[in-house]
């Protein structure tokens, strides 16, 4: 299939171009589009056949449900039953933005979207291209991240092109996404609500408004110095092709441990993920992910660096760990899932 690539300015989107993509969605086709978190691979949520194609293109397991993206809050009531008051308050506070809320679903939401669950996920993205695409498609858009399943999520159109060009009707190139990790997913069907996936809206931000618990799986506590039991789907979700060793601990210990790993793996092509504060302590192939003083810079660069190292043909990636405060929880969740080995320095 020929994939049409349409360049659109995310600050000032050309509505004529948006309408071309919206028409593809209306006709049951697939469009990859930027959101403020990562690129999504979208189809009309209410069209089961169209949504099914998303799973095929991504090679996504059929038991992993999708998020409905909406541009108008009224759609919450059309898709969800029993919308608690706290959801309205959270929507007022964090939408449009990187927060996904899970509700009991209404019949209108096809089973393929929810992977057979009785609940469904809804979010209103902030990116103007995404909002206008939904608006002109005149339907909610079901969209997972636009990567091949298991690979790092796309933060640039180039990443989407690399993974799925030729398999879908259209890719909107709206430049880099500005958060870089996916939305925070919270389940509002349980009491207290549960944070299932840390993301752009932090636990601390949510805590100011509601009583919420973090699901243990969201922290991804792998036993240190052990390889995850199954290196397959279960743990390695955002994985680069190269093996990734994640080193956690106090800064000085981490630096020393990473230097040791480099010595032990002499002869391999190694890529190191370091920070502004630590870059000078390692040899050559170092990428600076950002500053420890500003986790937003770290989040925004994470997936791109993993992909860049793959493109360079690196054999082994070694990354420093971060504090799990604020956006650090989302960053560490992705790094721990991507890692083949997690080491405590």
User: Residues interacting with Mg ion, by CB under 5 A?
Assistant: 145
| Contact pick of 66, 195, 220, 274 for ligand TXA (by CB under 6 A) | 66
Q: Are 6 and 168 in contact (CB under 8 A)?
A: no
Is residue 202 near ligand TXA by the rule CB under 6 A?
A: no
Per-residue CA distances from 228 to 57, 72, 232, 315, 343 (Å):
28, 42, 9, 19, 11
Q: How far is the CB of 92 from ligand TXA (least distance, A)?
A: 19
> CA-to-CA distance for 57 and 1, rounded, in angstroms?
12
Q: How far is the CB of 60 from Mg ion (least distance, A)?
A: 8
Q: How far is the CB of 262 from ligand TXA (least distance, A)?
A: 33
Q: How far is the CB of 144 from Mg ion (least distance, A)?
A: 5
Q: Are 134 and 128 in contact (CB under 8 A)?
A: no
| 163: its two tokens | 């993974």
Closer residue to Mg ion in complex, CB, 199/271: 199
Closer residue to ligand TXA in complex, CB, 140/271: 140
Closer residue to ligand TXA in complex, CB, 113/316: 113
β-bridge mates for residue 243, sequence order: 316
Closer residue to ligand TXA in complex, CB, 215/292: 215
Is residue 120 near ligand TXA by the rule CB under 6 A?
A: yes
β-bridge mates for residue 113, sequence order: none
For 150, phi then psi, to 5°, come to 95, -20
Is residue 183 near ligand TXA by the rule CB under 6 A?
A: yes
Q: How far is the CB of 196 from ligand TXA (least distance, A)?
A: 6
Q: Are 320 and 273 in contact (CB under 8 A)?
A: yes
> CA-to-CA distance for 83 and 300, rounded, in angstroms?
32
**Contacts of 263 by beta carbon, 8 Å cutoff, 6+ apart:** none
| Contact pick of 18, 21, 37, 71 for ligand TXA (by CB under 6 A) | 37
Residues 217, 107, 42: CA angle, nearest 5 degrees: 60
| Contact pick of 5, 20, 52, 117 for ligand TXA (by CB under 6 A) | 117
119 binds, among ligand TXA, Mg ion, none (CB under 5 to 8 A by kind): ligand TXA
Closer residue to ligand TXA in complex, CB, 33/309: 33
Q: Are 336 and 220 in contact (CB under 8 A)?
A: yes
Is residue 174 near ligand TXA by the rule CB under 6 A?
A: no
> CA-to-CA distance for 279 and 295, rounded, in angstroms?
16
Is residue 278 near ligand TXA by the rule CB under 6 A?
A: no
Would you give the DSSP letter of residue 188? Answer: -
Asked whether the bond before 120 is cis by omega within 30 degrees of 0, the reply is no
Closer residue to ligand TXA in complex, CB, 114/278: 114
| Contact pick of 182, 243, 248, 310 for ligand TXA (by CB under 6 A) | 182
80 binds, among ligand TXA, Mg ion, none (CB under 5 to 8 A by kind): none
Residue with tokens 């792998």: 222
Strand 270-274 relative to strand 243-248, pairing: unpaired
Residues 231, 233, 236: CA angle, nearest 5 degrees: 55
Closer residue to Mg ion in complex, CB, 145/297: 145
Is residue 214 near ligand TXA by the rule CB under 6 A?
A: no
3 binds, among ligand TXA, Mg ion, none (CB under 5 to 8 A by kind): none
Q: How far is the CB of 58 from Mg ion (least distance, A)?
A: 8
For 281, phi then psi, to 5°, come to -90, -5
Is residue 38 near ligand TXA by the rule CB under 6 A?
A: yes
Q: Which residues bind ligand TXA (CB under 6 A)?
A: 35, 37-38, 40, 64-67, 98, 100, 102, 114, 117, 119-121, 125, 143-145, 182-183, 185, 196-197
């Amino acid at each position: 299939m020929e994939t049409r690539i349409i360049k659109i300015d995310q600050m000032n989107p050309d509505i004529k171009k948006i309408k071309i993509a919206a028409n593809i969605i209306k006709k049951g086709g697939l469009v990859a589009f930027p959101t403020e978190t990562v690129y999504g691979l979208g189809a009309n949520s209410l069209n089961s056949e169209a949504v099914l194609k998303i799973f095929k293109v991504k090679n996504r397991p059929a038991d992993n449900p999708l998020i409905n993206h909406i541009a108008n809050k009224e759609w919450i009531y059309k898709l969800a039953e029993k919308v608690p008051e706290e959801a309205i308050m959270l929507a007022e506070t964090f939408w449009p933005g990187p927060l996904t809320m899970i509700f009991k679903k209404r019949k209108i939401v096809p089973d393929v979207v929810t992977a057979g669950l009785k609940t469904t996920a809804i979010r209103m993205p902030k990116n103007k291209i995404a909002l206008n695409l939904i608006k002109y498609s005149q339907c909610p858009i079901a969209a997972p991240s636009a990567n091949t399943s298991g690979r790092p999520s796309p933060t640039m159109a180039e990443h989407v092109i690399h993974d799925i060009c030729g398999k879908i009707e259209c890719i909107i190139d709206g430049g880099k996404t500005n958060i870089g990790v996916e939305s925070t997913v919270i389940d509002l069907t349980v009491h207290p609500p549960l944070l299932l996936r840390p993301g752009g809206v932090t636990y601390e931000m949510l805590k100011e408004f509601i009583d919420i618990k973090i699901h243990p799986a969201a922290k991804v506590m792998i036993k240190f110095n052990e390889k995850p039991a199954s290196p397959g789907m279960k743990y390695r979700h955002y994985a680069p092709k190269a093996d990734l060793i994640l080193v956690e601990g106090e800064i000085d210990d981490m630096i020393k441990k990473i230097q040791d790993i480099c010595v032990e793996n002499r002869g391999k092509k190694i890529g190191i993920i370091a920070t502004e504060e630590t870059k000078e302590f390692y040899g050559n192939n170092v990428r600076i992910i950002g500053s420890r003083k500003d986790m937003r810079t770290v989040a925004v660069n994470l997936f791109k660096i993993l992909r860049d190292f793959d493109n360079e043909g690196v054999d082994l990636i070694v990354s420093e760990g971060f504090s799990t405060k604020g956006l650090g929880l989302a960053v560490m969740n992705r790094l721990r899932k991507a890692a083949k080995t997690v080491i405590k320095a």
